[in-house]
Amino acid sequence: MRIVLLRHGETDRNATDRFQGQADIPLNDTGVRQAQVIARSLSPDGWSAVYSSCLARAAQTAAYAAGRLGVPHRRLDGLRERDLGTLDGQGRAEFARRHPGTMRRLLTDPDYAPPGGETGRAVLSRSAAALRTIAEAETEAEADKAGRTLPAVLAVTHGGVLNLLTRALAGAGATPEVLVRTGAAVCVDVGWSPAGRPRAALRRWNVAPHECEEAPAPPVPPSFVDLDSLVLDELNSKEVTRT
């Protein structure tokens, strides 16, 4: 199963390069246009569902895609952005200039938590659990269609989540160097191990989401990561609401 993880469209805080964390900031006019262009770029065939974070900027982006594709839109709490605590609202570039070591830890150290915020490991745990939830739900939904290739799923989330997931799935020595831009996507293939455990492989990152529909096979077999190994507990990503 292919899960296409899409970063939401632009907000005013994105445009001014400020941290926004879990502040519920809607899309700005540019973000709305991005979401509309993305929706029109997707083929109406081959998608089973659209999931999104509960935050407005992700849910708005997802709603355009779900309307275009004619599939359900489900909100999944585990896809929400990282809680950045006291960093919320600060300018990213100025913070990086004044605190380069802290900025590096924020982006690369999974055990770092900004004051009042979440560790990267906690965010990775709930986002990996969200991928597992999506895979289980969509596999079950298609169980009566034996022999059919499972349709792709679109999951609209956030830059901080995607940074952590791509680093975890890419493995040592292959970490993507560029953060996923607004309106860009990460292509992930999710399957099941011989023991029945969910596992995921990173295929592409920072690409237009429609490029994930027919992503070419890599020259070498993908390196799968056990999703359960990234999940800290069973309390994450359990609440799904429908729109």
What does the DSSP assignment read for 33-101? HHHHHHHHHS-SSSEEEEEE-SSHHHHHHHHHHHHHHT--EEEEGGGSPP--GGGTTSBHHHHHHH-HH
pLDDT value, residue 127? 97
Which ranges of the chain have pLDDT less than 70?
142-150, 171-178, 215-222, 233-243
pLDDT value, residue 220? 52
pLDDT value, residue 240? 40
Annotated catalytic sites, by residue? 8, 81
pLDDT value, residue 108? 86
Helices in 109-200 by DSSP H: which ranges?
120-141, 159-170
Q: Tokens 């770092």 — which residue?
A: 112
pLDDT in tens, 21-70: 999 999 999 999 999 999 999 999 889 999 999 999 999 999 999 999 99
Q: Are 231 and 129 in contact (CB under 8 A)?
A: yes
pLDDT value, residue 139? 84
Q: Are 187 and 2 in contact (CB under 8 A)?
A: yes
pLDDT value, residue 205? 87
Q: Are 113 and 102 in contact (CB under 8 A)?
A: no
- Is residue 5 helix, strand or coil? strand
